Amino acid sequence: MAALRHVVTTEGLASLWKGNLVTIMHRIPYSSTNFWAYESTKRALEGRVSNDAARAWTAGAVSGLVACTAAYPLDLLRTRIAADTAPAAPGSGLRWMPAPRFLTRGRVRAALSRILAEHGVRGLYKGLGATLVQVVPGLAFNFCFYDTFKRLALQAQARAEAAVKAEADGGSGSGVGSGSGGGRSGGSEQALPSPSPLTSAASACAAGLVTSTLTFPLDVVRRRLQVYERGALGAMRYWDVVAAVRREAGLAGFYRGIGPEYMKVLPGMAIAFTTYEALKRFTGAV
């Protein structure tokens, strides 16, 4: 809350959306490539990797590698724009009302020109290695945990429905046990129904909570590397940043800002995966 008040006071309410245009520009190709690579890899691994969780983890890692590399320059621009703390000009009308020009290509062009002038085309991929170190396992765990939580929820739902049906039909307990066992041992997603929006949202929130807790320290280092661009700081490498964070605040420094991260990631994951499952049903994609 102190950070929120400071940003609004010094830069205006519009600054909360600073870099939003480039974020959208990054998210569209990134998310589409991410989900496409995940589904394609997961299908390719069927019959080769029997364990559902291992297949989801591997497919998530491959999707993260492909999508992150393809869209990284836009991610870098987004971080640089968000880190630009120049206050709004007096009388510009930006302090209390978001203005469209605050989100337009002017800032994108300025950030892009500065990166190219100082570092050349290679500068657009500055920090890619650190990003892959965080994003690849992060997406792998995201998809793995989401797939696992969703499957467990759907299996529990199927067992409950089978028990209710057996009780209504006056069937024996052995029939229920047989159906439950088949669902558990098969582990096949095709045999399970499509998740409801509530199931998707709950599974995504749980996956986001676990994954963010595991990978947040890597994200702290990644964003510092993206922001450090001038003078001696621009020469810092991955382990230099790790050592700097530890000197400043110890191990707790790697989790500074985890609260806002949860506030962003949990609803973001819920919206993304619920929309994804709904669009799969709508388009007939399997």
Q: What residue type is assigned to position 260 of the chain?
A: P
Q: What residue type is assigned to position 218 of the chain?
A: L
Q: Residue 238: what pLDDT?
A: 80
Q: Cα–Cα distances in Å, from 96 out to 92, 168, 191?
A: 10, 61, 53
pTM exceeds 0.95 for this model? no
Q: Residue 230: what pLDDT?
A: 54
Give the list of residues 6+ apart from residue 149 with CB closer than 8 angstroms, or none. Answer: 202, 203, 206, 207
Looking at the predicted structure, is the pLDDT value of residue 141 above 70? yes
- How big is the chain by its Cα radius of gyration, in Å? 23
Least confident of 13-22, 196-205, 209-218: 13-22
164 near 155, Cβ under 8 Å?
A: no
Q: Residue 253: what pLDDT?
A: 87
Least confident of 38-47, 77-86, 245-254: 77-86
95 near 31, Cβ under 8 Å?
A: no
91: phi > 0 → left, psi -120 to 50 → alpha, else beta; which?
left
What's the whole-number mean pLDDT along residues 8-26?
83
Give the pLDDT confidence of 99-119 residue by residue, as tens digits. Answer: 444 444 566 777 778 878 877
86-100, 187-201, 237-251: range with highest mean pLDDT: 237-251
Domain ranges of the chain: 1-86+105-126, 128-163+195-285
Q: 1-86+105-126 belongs to which homologous superfamily?
A: Mitochondrial carrier domain (1.50.40.10)
Q: Residue 178: what pLDDT?
A: 45
What is the distance between the terminal CA atoms of the chain, rounded to a whole angstrom?
43
Distance CA 47, CA 53 (A): 14
Least confident of 22-36, 87-101, 188-202, 230-244: 87-101
- To the nearest 10 degrees (0 to 180), the angle between helices 128-169 and 238-249 is 80
Neighbour-count burial of 20, counting CB atoms closer than 10 A to its CB (0-12 exposed, 13-18 middle, 19+ buried): middle
